[in-house]
A and B are shown apart, each in its own frame.
Chain A
């Protein structure tokens, strides 16, 4: 064979590797039941093709040839290794007894394998960062180094995530399956979330010098397309639309100096019209299916923005209508924040964005008739089973303000303990500007002593709506806060100080049960709670004063159940700040009772929006 012909075969195998290696891998994983074995077999198969095709000619169905060769190589390698491990011999025998006719693996079966691969990489039993890494590795074919570079992580960290995930798939026996109909909505949620995380990491890079990393956005869109091709569910279509519509603004989104340009200020002539057209068509398709959810709605919002020739021409009524539907589909403070346009510089001063009273705010605008179902409810709302799933990223990713920060913090929460730890560390490492007061016991007691009177003045005699109103499900009302402060007096601050001062062998604190008060105070009146708190606080402060703590005593350590080593000084300082924090919380919870009544003033009243995700 001529050198030329050999070169042509090499080029063809290279091209085949780029276009089909993931398909072949997906099938090999099913046949061999093991990711590592399949990867090894994949490379052996391509090596064999390079050796044999120049001599024997190119097979009629190269993909089937590669699968067959890979399987054969794997069985062969297991047999060779079986001399050292009897269990491998059994495995080789089992595999050999399986179906071997490559012609039986039709293209439909191969497409199923790709879907199996996606769902397995995004199995909820795997940690979220591993889902992302594994998907990029196995489904997109990125190398460990490429993934590490994209996420600005060390390559060994990514490698370890992938190794652990593969081991868990094998050891816990995560099946290589497309989920059943019943499980599909939840499992698809996880897959879509992974795809959107990949896209978002590229679109609004959470770290690194550049604000965007186009490579990852490209992978996200590629994954989105693959998913729509394999499983054209409405939300998969909606997510692809959302990604395309965001991507269309990429060029206009950063200034020459590399700074973020807000949507209003973007040069709309630089938007990618092709992507906008494709995105808008996909939005229409997803909406027409009547099974859409939050991705589709966010895409619809992006499509309305894309439709406006300049910012002032934006159809705000339509956008508010869509946010209303979105808020009903997935109640989330971020959605509410965006709907009202609070906490963000998006709406110029004097034009405080759309609000509930905007004429036509409820109008569903250009949605297909009946798309929103009876009473404007979203047919897909039930898909999440009422679970307050986080919106993946801000519904308005061009907002550089509070919305983006909130969604980033929320994403960190969603990303699990590892990211959360990083966030906590970040918080601890951030110095608080303008604070120069050192700890002083007397000055601490000054504040602690007046809290009961402050609470009394603020709350005593107010009606139930003020006292019992919360910031939303799962958050404290002022009444709850007083109960929680009583719990602190009885179980937390002084008992913990005693543990420290006892200097015993066991310095560990009891965990603070933040919900002890719920059952304890069910039938109590606020007046009796306030009186109880005042009594307990006075007794505790008398006790604290009587200890005559020295500077050395303040340095004594205790062991917090989750924070680890803390000093008595830190404990007492935290007591003061805890009081002040809950006073602020009471003010905030009360303020939010009028959140819907202040109309256009929302952007000037940050108490309503600074804590869009309050916790109790």
Chain B
């Protein structure tokens, strides 16, 4: 079964890291990604640019409205994701708990909806 691990970080916290701290943090991410590739959990994953680069688009009264930033105001922002395949939720939680940001921010684990193909 596939699960999406949505990674929420406090960008302020990440921005406040020194060069060596942030290098070490990135190193952990590389090691983690390698690890789940080897274990067969990895399906995909990307990091996102900071939330200042985000644009929110919606259509209201038939008109496209484009605004700066994300819709919800929160302390933590979506910073990246992994798509994994796991035996069950416990297995997925195991993987998610090793994502380096789980220590600093939050990881949300969501099962992928599988639609029956006709």
Q: A87-B116, A519-B16 are contacts. A513–B90 as well, Cβ < 8 Å?
A: no
Question: CA A250 – CA B117 in complex, angstroms?
Answer: 59
Does A58 make an interface contact (CB < 8 A)?
Answer: no
> Which A residues are CB-close (under 8 A) to B116?
86-87
Q: B111 and A173: CB pair below 8 A?
A: yes
- Interface size in chain B (residues, C-beta < 8 A): 14
Residues of B with C-beta under 8 A to A561: 73
Q: With the chains together, A72 CA to B91 CA distance in Å?
A: 31
A174 adjacent to B89 (CB under 8 Å) = yes
User: Does B51 count as interface, using CB distance less than 8 angstroms?
Assistant: no
Residue A510 at the B interface, CB < 8 A? yes
Q: A173-B1, A173-B88, A174-B88 are in contact. Are A511 and B73 (CB under 8 A)?
A: yes
Which of B74, B89, B111 is the most central at the interface, judged by chain A CB atoms within 10 Å of its CB?
B89
Contacts of B91 in A (CB 8 A): 175
In the complex, which range does the number of interface residues on chain A fall in?
10 to 19
Q: Distance in Å from the Cβ of B64 to the closest Cβ of chain A?
A: 16
Whether A510 contacts B89 by the Cβ 8 Å rule is no
- In the complex, B63 has a CB within 8 A of chain A: no
Q: How far is the CB of B3 from chain A (nearest CB, A)?
A: 8
CA of A511 to CA of B10, assembled, Å: 14
Q: Are B89 and A175 in contact (CB under 8 A)?
A: yes
Give the CA-CA distance A510 to B69 in the complex, in Å: 13
A177 at the interface (CB under 8 A from B): yes
Task: Mark each residue of chain B from 3 to 20: 1 if its CB lies under 8 Å from any CB of chain A, else 0.
Answer: 000000000000010000
Q: Is B93 an interface residue (CB 8 A)?
A: yes
CB-CB nearest in chain B for A123: B89
Say if the beta carbon of A172 comes within 8 Å of chain B. Answer: yes
Closest to B90 in A: A175
Alpha-carbon distance between A511 and B90 when the two chains are bound, in angstroms: 34
CA distance A174 to B88 in the complex (A): 6
CA A513 – CA B10 in complex, angstroms?
12
- For B111, the chain A residues whose CB sits under 8 A away are 171-173
B21 to chain A, nearest CB (A): 14
By a CB distance below 8 angstroms, the chain A residues around B103 are none
A488 vs B116: C-alpha distance when bound (angstroms): 53
A125 and B88: CB pair below 8 A? no
> Could you pull out 7 A-B pairs where Cβ atoms are within 8 angstroms?
A86-B116, A87-B116, A123-B89, A174-B88, A175-B88, A175-B91, A183-B90
17 extra interface residue pairs, beta carbon distance < 8 Å, beyond A123-B89, A173-B88, A175-B91: A86-B116, A125-B93, A171-B111, A172-B89, A172-B111, A173-B1, A173-B89, A173-B111, A174-B88, A174-B90, A175-B87, A175-B90, A179-B90, A183-B90, A510-B73, A511-B75, A513-B75
Q: Which 7 A/B pairs are nearest by Cβ-Cβ distance?
A: A175-B88, A173-B88, A172-B111, A174-B89, A172-B89, A173-B1, A175-B90
